[in-house]
Amino acid sequence: MNSVPKKAFIFDLDGVIVDTAKYHYLAWKKIADALQINFTHEHNELLKGVSRIRSLDIILELGNITATVEQKNQWLAQKNADYLSYLVDMDSSELLPGVLETLQFLKEKNQAIVLGSASKNARPILEKTGIIDLFDAVVDGNDVTNAKPDPEVFLIGAQKVNIIPENAIVFEDAVAGIQAANAAQMISVGIGKAEILNEAHYVFTDFNEMGLAFIEKLIK
């Protein structure tokens, strides 16, 4: 008899599965340029894992600009339309190193695979990259009221596959996401730089560096 409980492996999207930060940057840059706000790649780091509306507020704060709700809605719509235009040709070649192998390995091992993302565009991205069928549950920006570092997105994700938080593992590239995973009492695995993601239980540059042996250890 197998006494090992099934676990939930929860993946963030942007920065973990695909590198869409570059497209978010290009789309926000157009809005910032039009408003004469200096918006650099370093500023873009502040937007990782952050909701669309909060991202706009951060950019407006950089330029000391106050705006009406109508203006903000217009910029949000413009930004998203531009962002989506960069995703038109997206395919599996945009999957980050080792992601597909990791997902397939988890599937073979009969583990629950969950998406936990702040993005409202998560589903089309999973479809375009050809991996949506590997997911047992998808929780995205349309499903949550409280943004990361609030644990809501990951707690809903684990609940959807009937796994208790203690048996869930979260892969995240953003500090707020690591904090959300820790607040949910889950195991947090940072994808990126150890000096930035220092609150994570483990950190790897990417899934290739992590290796399947590490995943196997998490399953046991």
As annotated, the active-site residues are 12, 14
Residue with smallest beta-carbon separation from Mg ion: 15
**What x-and-dash track marks residues 44-83 binding Mg ion by CB under 5 A?**
-----x----------------------------------
Please give the Cα distance from 128 to 158 (Å, whole number): 24
Separation between Cα atoms, residue 145 and residue 125, nearest integer Å = 21
From Mg ion, ligand B16, none, which one binds at residue 24 (CB under 5 to 8 Å depending on kind)? ligand B16
SS3 call for 172: strand
Select from 102, 111, 117, 188 the one that contacts ligand B16 (CB under 6 A): 117
Q: Is 141 in the site for ligand B16 (CB under 6 A)?
A: yes
Distance CA 109, CA 169 (A): 15
Distances (CA, A) of 220 to 111, 155, 192: 11, 21, 25
Residue (of 145, 105, 143) closest to 9 by Cα position:
105
From 33-41, 114-122, 155-163, 189-197, span contacting ligand B16 (CB under 6 A): 114-122
7 part of the interface to ligand B16, by CB under 6 A: no
From the number of C-beta atoms within 10 Å of its C-beta (0-12, 13-18, 19+), residue 180 rates as buried
Whether the link from the prior residue into 149 is cis, omega within 30° of 0, is yes
129 binds ligand B16 (CB under 6 A): no
178 binds ligand B16 (CB under 6 A): no
- Tell me the closest approach of the beta carbon of residue 20 to ligand B16, in angstroms: 7
Please give the residue ranges that form the binding site for Mg ion (CB under 5 A).
12, 14-15, 49, 173-174
Please give the residue ranges that form the binding site for ligand B16 (CB under 6 A).
12-15, 24, 47-52, 55, 80, 117-121, 141, 174
